[in-house]
Amino acid sequence: MEFGSTEDGRHDKFPVGMRVLAVDDNPTCLRKLEELLLRCKYHVTKTMESRKALEMLRENSNMFDLVISDVEMPDTDGFKLLEIGLEMDLPVIMLSAHSDYDSVMKGIIHGACDYLVKPVGLKELQNIWHHVVKKNIKSYAKLLPPSESDSVPSASRKRKDKVNDSGDEDDSDREEDDGEGSEQDGDESGTRKKPRVVWSQELHQKFVSAVQQLGLDKAVPKKILDLMSIEGLTRENVASHLQKYRLYLKKIDEGQQQNMTPDAFGTRDSSYFQMAQLDGLRDFTAARQIPSSGLLSRSHLTKLQPPMYSSINLQGMNSSSFIQQGHHQNSSNSANPFGTYHSTLSPRIQNVNLFQRTSSPLEPLQFPRSKSYIGDFKGLGDRAIGGSFLDTCMPFGSSSTSLPSASTNPLMLQANYTQPLHIASDGIQPCIEGTPSNSASPNISFQGLSRFPGHSWQGNLNTTRFPPSSLPLNLAFLPDQVTCAGNNLGDCTSLVSAENPGGEMQCDPQLLGGFMQNVNPLGGQKWEQQNCTMLNNPFGNIEYPLPADNMVFRDNNSTRSKGLDESLMNPIDNSQEYVGKATTMLDPEMKSGKPENDNQHDVFDDIMNEMMKQEENNGMVPVATRFGFDSFPPP
């Protein structure tokens, strides 16, 4: 890292001597690569054996500033190397002859800071040092105090076009430049635009927990912030969210008082609704009495949000490369995953990160399975659709191997305002494959998503809207979406339904959140350090392994779904019935094992299993119990 050399010269010289570890099992390629790297004036260490490369890294990661490795290699594949590199906090560039979507995506998802397609040209290599700088922005910033870059008070910044005309028109080059705003580098001293925090469920859960602990009245931004202890989150962020949250509470109240009928499936408030889900506790805290009751049956279905990922996302922040990538648009050689994505999937893509989904009506492809996706990317397919899934996962790190980078970030920030990654919203339907459902009804699609934790409360759709108050404690195990789905899904949902007041094993997301916080001492620690063990698995999320502070980034995007009418046409009638069904449905699946058809059942199974596990492992405290404690502050 240190480019000590930097000091001496001007920036231009900086990259000179940058220590690059080049790995490629193909002698020819390696040679070529070395030559090019040398031409860039880097200091090159090359090896054809990935194992050796690993050893070198392990012995002394300080020996290199950057790693550039071929993906396909005999013994240890490039991903292992990538993993290690990431652990050491080194930027790793993947190199491959494959420029297809899967390959590129895989590399990026795993945390590669760039993905170059062979044959690599000098141009691409000339810019790789940017990654090194990015990785060390902080320290680097110190070195150059007044650099011109930061000072951008106002006016000026002339360049809008930038370098285009200079030499040839190659296009490539991504990165940085953008004049205003982009640059994700994150924090840094300067005053850049604040990264946009996406209030993921997890984040919101934490928020709610904090509010709860403080007591509704006492909950002010600063205190909440402290309780949440999430790195990167600012008081303003909290204040803003609080504002919205209060608004939501207010709405709710009004609704109640006025006899708002629950059944109104109003689409409009969906967002609030969502919040409700999360905030189950609120009622208590607030001391509001809620009608409660009876209705729950229906309501219960609605929600479940597994608290999976814990984090937030800040855009533009440092670490995760993911997000940063946001701007690459197209470059000649370096395949831009997103770019690709883009092209591939066209139309409705959205970002899934947040799990908001759009309601696109139908999509062409739905891809059937979900798990595979997550499990390994191989599955990803060629089909565009795959993309969507992926996206979803991406932020969190989905692959089997651990992806530190991805998981690490606590907050997710939005990457670029501009073009982000989109995700096909559509794709999500996986779960239900069999059903011919008449329509590709939206419902179905949702389901697919459901497995992901991510929906933001805001985005989800709610099927029916109940007065939130009615469901204070329930927790749904399943994702809300599930609920939505009328038919098939419905069943599943029921499983979870929390109707029973008894509170058996419910897990309220919030509670969990809270739980985690309390229990997990790590909470505050840096996310960077935490590795993600289990995050990979989508379901894993449920486990809530980490301290939950990660953030997620959000891309841009657009639309959300609300529309769907929530569909729901078939609202669910009574929970019990459903439950019954659910059970039955599940059983078969369980027994069967899990064949390849992953449909919802599997998913559910998984979820359930995870939950159980979770309980066992964590000794989940009786939610109820916990609830009792904290939640009942009798103010």
Give residues in contact with DNA (CB under 7 A).
181, 193-199, 220-223, 235-237, 239-244, 246, 268, 271, 417, 456, 458-459, 556, 560, 562
Tell the smallest beta-carbon distance from residue 247 to DNA (Å): 8
- Quote the radius of gyration of the chain (alpha carbons, Å): 25
Q: With 0-12 CB in 10 A as exposed, 13-18 as middle and 19+ as buried, what is 500? A: middle
Distance, in Å, from the CA atom of 322 to the CA atom of 111, rounded to the nearest integer, reads: 7
Q: Are 481 and 446 in contact (CB under 8 A)?
A: yes
Distance, in Å, from the CA atom of 621 to the CA atom of 127, rounded to the nearest integer, reads: 52
Tell the smallest beta-carbon distance from residue 620 to DNA (Å): 28
Question: Three-state secondary structure along 182-211?
Answer: CCCCCCCCCCCCCCCECCCHHHHHHHHHHH
The residue among 197 and 423 lying less far from DNA, judged by its C-beta, is 197
The residue among 199 and 309 lying less far from DNA, judged by its C-beta, is 199
Tokens 């925090």, located at residue: 197
Tell the smallest beta-carbon distance from residue 416 to DNA (Å): 8
User: Phi then psi for 108, rounded to 5 degrees?
Assistant: -70, -40
The residue among 374 and 449 lying less far from DNA, judged by its C-beta, is 449
**What contacts 587, CB < 8 A, 6 or more positions away?**
none
Tell the smallest beta-carbon distance from residue 182 to DNA (Å): 11
The residue among 35 and 236 lying less far from DNA, judged by its C-beta, is 236
User: Phi then psi for 446, rounded to 5 degrees?
Assistant: -60, -40
Q: How many helices (H) and strands (E) does the chain have?
A: 27, 9
Nearest to 3 by CA among 61, 15, 126, 113: 15
The residue among 187 and 606 lying less far from DNA, judged by its C-beta, is 187
CA 422 to chain centroid, in Å, comes to 13
Tell the smallest beta-carbon distance from residue 597 to DNA (Å): 34
The residue among 125 and 197 lying less far from DNA, judged by its C-beta, is 197
Tell the smallest beta-carbon distance from residue 325 to DNA (Å): 17
The residue among 275 and 431 lying less far from DNA, judged by its C-beta, is 275
Nearest to 600 by CA among 442, 493, 509: 493
Tell the smallest beta-carbon distance from residue 564 to DNA (Å): 13
* Torsion, Cα of 356, 437, 462, 570 (10° steps): 180
Tell the smallest beta-carbon distance from residue 186 to DNA (Å): 13
The residue among 266 and 375 lying less far from DNA, judged by its C-beta, is 266
Tell the smallest beta-carbon distance from residue 208 to DNA (Å): 13
The residue among 140 and 396 lying less far from DNA, judged by its C-beta, is 396
Nearest to 434 by CA among 545, 598, 244: 598
